Structure 1
Amino acid sequence: MRTIIFTLLTSICFSQSDSDFNKFFFDETMRIDYFHIGDAKSEMFTIDKIYRYGIWAGSLTNLIDNLNNGKYYYKIYDAASGKLVYSKGYDTFFGEYASSENGLAGIKKSYHESAIIPFPKSKIIFTIEKRDESNLMNEIFRTEIDPASIYIIKDKVTDSDVEIFKPVFNGDPHKKVDVVILAEGYTIEERGKFVEDLERFVGYFFEQEPYKSNKSNFNFYGVFKPSEESGTDLPGADIFVNTVLNTTFWSLGSERYLMTEDNKTMRDLAAFVPYDAIYIQVNHPRYGGGGIYNQFCTYTTDNQFAKYLFIHEFGHSFTGLADEYYTSDVAYTDFYKPTVEPIEPNITALLDKRNIKWKHLLSEGIEIPTPWEKTEFDRMSYEWLKERNRLNNFIAELKKNRAPEDQIKAAEEEYAIKDKLQSEKVDNYLKSSKYWGKVGAFEGAGYQATGLYRPMLDCIMFSKGDKPFCKVCEEAIKKVIANYTN
């Protein structure tokens, strides 16, 4: 009887939500482009342009984001009634910049961002909220948008240089997670390589749980537009190439952080298909990538950890998972406050150890916090970090000085061998622990060696390699998939 009642109530809720969609929205997309300007102490927003195009890719029923993730939320209110009709949590590249050395020094910078919403039938109030130091949401921007405005751009989404691929298509975009993979750094002569890489990485995706068990809930698209030159920028090596999406290593000063600030071009290309999530596939052998929650993620195609990058970075951009590692250099400081519980589902400050956020998944009898062989792990990890930085700097200098190719190749091969050996060393060390496979609270997470805790010893969000998500991350991913497909 309870099951019947639940099913009936669920059906009613979905029906009401579907009714809300038809009442307030057309089955089309509105893209609100705006500039996000500021530093660590202040920020402001200005609307750039607003677009109308294509079908709406998202759910027709789950219009309000109740996942409670992301530092920011944009919220859409019906102007006439004041009713909240759509919302979405997200993070920003600006937010990372604000916690970087330049942002903290008060150097202001402007980022281009977009809010993607179903196209409203009548006037709306568009607001942006931000979490304060206690992670409470506060409104920081508000404006009215009239969907009947003559200034809303309705250009047809077309480009004779763009080609669309559908490596996996399982049906109605409203009921699927729609993922688009954008080509970056592929010349017209490398079109075939893009197609091969696209098929390879989509294959990787569905080898990984929980995506493997949810394959029928996904659509994958590829969007190819050739770049004038192959690869991506390497500023530390004084290498710059002309590519479609203007990606670059050394983003925010981190040598392996590969990102783009060209949001407009990225959104213009993604608009060729219905999408919920964006990948940027960068045609380059160097290890690197990045991911920002409900924005986009990047990965390079031709290194020994390419599969790991592909899965790891999507963990950030699709589910809002935190990095669980803490022994690598990052571009920002003080990302988490020691007295505030992080909002990400897979790390905790353990402020209330009896009510840890993944309490229902804890291994029976596990000690909280959970002791582990951290001292030796830290020693070998920081030792490798020092050597890794030395090798990367050496390779960058060789390239900057235009050293012979065989010399550069030898240095890169040395790095790859040592990097692989370190990864295997880490795997073997963690697997030797008596806590291997247990869910507890292991100190060291979120770029901090102390004060933050992760659920399991290892996870694809913690260390490199072909490995599963921890149980907490896997559960979080399933919730996001359900949010798009139920």
Structure 2
Amino acid sequence: MKQICCTILLFFAFAGSHAQDFADYFQNKTLRVDYIFTGNAERQNIYLDELSQLPSWAGRQHHLSELPLEGNGQIIVKDLATQQTIYKTSFSSLFHEWLSTDEAKETAKGFENTFLLPFPKQPAEVEISLYSPRKEVMARYKHLVRPDDILIHQRGVSHVTPHRYLLRNGNEKDCIDVAILAEGYTDKEMDLFYQDAENACESLFSHEPFRSMKDKFNIVAVASPSTDSGVSVPRENQWKQTAVHSHFDTFYSDRYLTTSRIKSIHNALAGIPYEHIIILANTDVYGGGGIYNSYTLTTAHHPMFKPVVVHEFGHSFAGLADEYFYENDTMTDTYPLDVEPWEQNISTRVDFSSKWEDLLPADTPIPTPANKWEKFPIGVYEGGGYSAKGIYRPAHNCRMKTNEYKEFCPVCQRAIRRIIEFYVP
């Protein structure tokens, strides 16, 4: 699926970074920040919508001022009194992708975006930035957060969506917490949802490195009810009342299933510890999408459900790029060919040393001929990131390229492993 999870890995590049003690700056609570990203292809803006407080913090309590991935956007939290950076995170968004559409050239729109930050003990300054594919700042916005602000909305206290743990290896401090959310399931269909969630969990942990690092995860299935069964398919004039308002035909692409109602996702999860989100749609129509540090959304009853949910989680969790491409070179403007992409599993070779160059055998031809894939399991194969020319992928095939291939390639596996180790050392 086309997505805008974007990554350049910054692991182990923080020798000079100052390590913060979580308890010095933060409470064991979550600050949920809702923004509206607005604009068009020419100009973008960021506006603060609402602040909320959640009962506990499920995110990392180390590497606080470091980024594992650059992303298409970043948030920096500073202690107001000292101006010391006390937390960073990165992300991508549906808004970023929309900016590349023809519609964005003709009109302006607003998109919801929600981010989870540790709740500060003292007043803090939050700065959020959006970046272009050329890594230029498109929009930047600063605002203050005062922890005693009476208008910070307390959520997840009086009402918590019914949920069930499918995997629990420890508390939220020691594990990566993934919430699997129901979309298009009525109250009467929740047994079906829990079974679908079990299938998603089983598929995810059948892939390395998730399989060997399973003990670092908690998985909770959240039974958010919908009024209608199924999800909206606009091209068939089918509009459903569902928990998170998802629909196919995003940006007029038949199989692109997303939701722009991000607040409804997080409202359904309030009071449940979570960091990463998988949304299961109750339909057999093929489709899905994955956005880095936002969500994975995929259909639960198509025959390709199991490989697709893992592929999309590769986007949303690990910031992996699509490794497939189009022979007619559609979508070739997604990645500028004179800029190294942020994702770890594709390269324009502008800065190949930052990618998988260290994994190549000495005799590897660059580019690597497609007919040599058996001799070179890791190579530099042309075609990836939707473009047949100028962008390279590390393997002939991979879970990030086709649904039929059974595993992530070695480069993708390393990228996922590094993300897991960043969150849970």
TM-score w.r.t. the length of structure 2 is 0.92
SS in 1 for 2:418: helix
SS in 2 for 1:174: coil
Range with greater deviation from structure 2 (54-63 or 276-285): 54-63
Deviations 1:370-395 (A, max 9, x none): 1225xxxxxxxxxxxxxxxxxxxxxx
Q: Which residue of 2 aligns with 1:438?
A: 377
Q: Which residue of 2 aligns with 1:369?
A: 367
Q: Which residue of 2 aligns with 1:192?
A: 191
Amino acid in the other structure paired with 2:67: N
Residues paired across the two proteins, number: 410
Amino acid in the other structure paired with 1:367: P
Q: By percentage of residues, which structure has more strand? A: 2
Distance 1:369 1:189 in 2: 54
Which one has more relative contact order, counting CA pairs under 8 Å at least 6 apart? 2
SS in 1 for 2:173: helix
Q: Please state how far the C-alpha of 1:281 moved relative to its aligned partner.
A: 0.7
Distance 2:224 2:50 in 1: 23
Deviations 1:294-338 (A, max 9, x none): 000101111111111110000000011001111289996621111
Percent of aligned pairs sharing the same letter: 33
Change in CA separation of 1:156 and 1:286 when aligned onto 2, cut-off 3 Å: closer
Deviations 1:209-252 (A, max 9, x none): 10000010000001102211111011111111111111100011
Q: Which residue of 2 aligns with 1:453?
A: 392
* Higher alpha-carbon Rg: 1
State how 1:52-131 maps to structure 2 within 5 Å: 52-103=53-104, 105-131=105-131
Q: Which residue of 2 aligns with 1:40?
A: 41
Distance 2:328 2:74 in 1: 28
Query: Residues 133 and 334 of structure 2 are in contact (CA less than 8 Å); yes or no, is this contact kept in structure 1?
Result: no
State how 1:172-183 maps to structure 2 within 5 Å: 172-183=171-182
Q: Please state how far the C-alpha of 1:18 moved relative to its aligned partner.
A: 5.9
Distance 1:362 1:165 in 2: 44
Q: Which residue of 2 aligns with 1:140?
A: 140
Q: By percentage of residues, which structure has more helix? A: 1
Change in CA separation of 1:274 and 1:31 when aligned onto 2, cut-off 3 Å: same
Q: Please state how far the C-alpha of 1:357 moved relative to its aligned partner.
A: 1.7
State how 1:364-403 maps to structure 2 within 5 Å: 364-373=362-371
SS in 2 for 1:274: coil
SS in 2 for 1:46: strand
Change in CA separation of 1:258 and 1:437 when aligned onto 2, cut-off 3 Å: farther
Gaps of 5+ in 1: 1-9, 374-432
Q: Please state how far the C-alpha of 1:369 moved relative to its aligned partner.
A: 1.0
Q: Which residue of 2 aligns with 1:359?
A: 357
Change in CA separation of 1:189 and 1:166 when aligned onto 2, cut-off 3 Å: same
Distance 2:55 2:70 in 1: 27
Distance 1:240 1:329 in 2: 33
Distance 1:67 1:232 in 2: 34
Gaps of 5+ in 2: 1-11
TM-score w.r.t. the length of structure 1 is 0.80
Task: State yes or no: 1:268 paired with 2:260.
Answer: no
SS in 2 for 1:95: helix
Distance 1:280 1:182 in 2: 5
Query: Residues 327 and 387 of structure 2 are in contact (CA less than 8 Å); yes or no, is this contact kept in structure 1?
Result: no
1:468 paired residue among 381, 396, 407: 407
Q: Which residue of 2 aligns with 1:401?
A: none
SS in 1 for 2:416: helix
Q: Please state how far the C-alpha of 1:74 moved relative to its aligned partner.
A: 0.7
Query: Residues 132 and 138 of structure 1 are in contact (CA less than 8 Å); yes or no, is this contact kept in structure 2?
Result: yes
SS in 2 for 1:51: strand
Change in CA separation of 1:29 and 1:453 when aligned onto 2, cut-off 3 Å: same
Change in CA separation of 1:158 and 1:247 when aligned onto 2, cut-off 3 Å: farther
SS in 1 for 2:153: coil
Change in CA separation of 1:67 and 1:329 when aligned onto 2, cut-off 3 Å: farther
The alignment yields a C-alpha RMSD, in angstroms, of: 2.1
Q: Which residue of 1 aligns with 2:228?
A: 229
Q: Please state how far the C-alpha of 1:129 moved relative to its aligned partner.
A: 2.1
Query: Residues 133 and 335 of structure 2 are in contact (CA less than 8 Å); yes or no, is this contact kept in structure 1?
Result: no
SS in 2 for 1:212: coil
Query: Residues 361 and 471 of structure 1 are in contact (CA less than 8 Å); yes or no, is this contact kept in structure 2?
Result: no
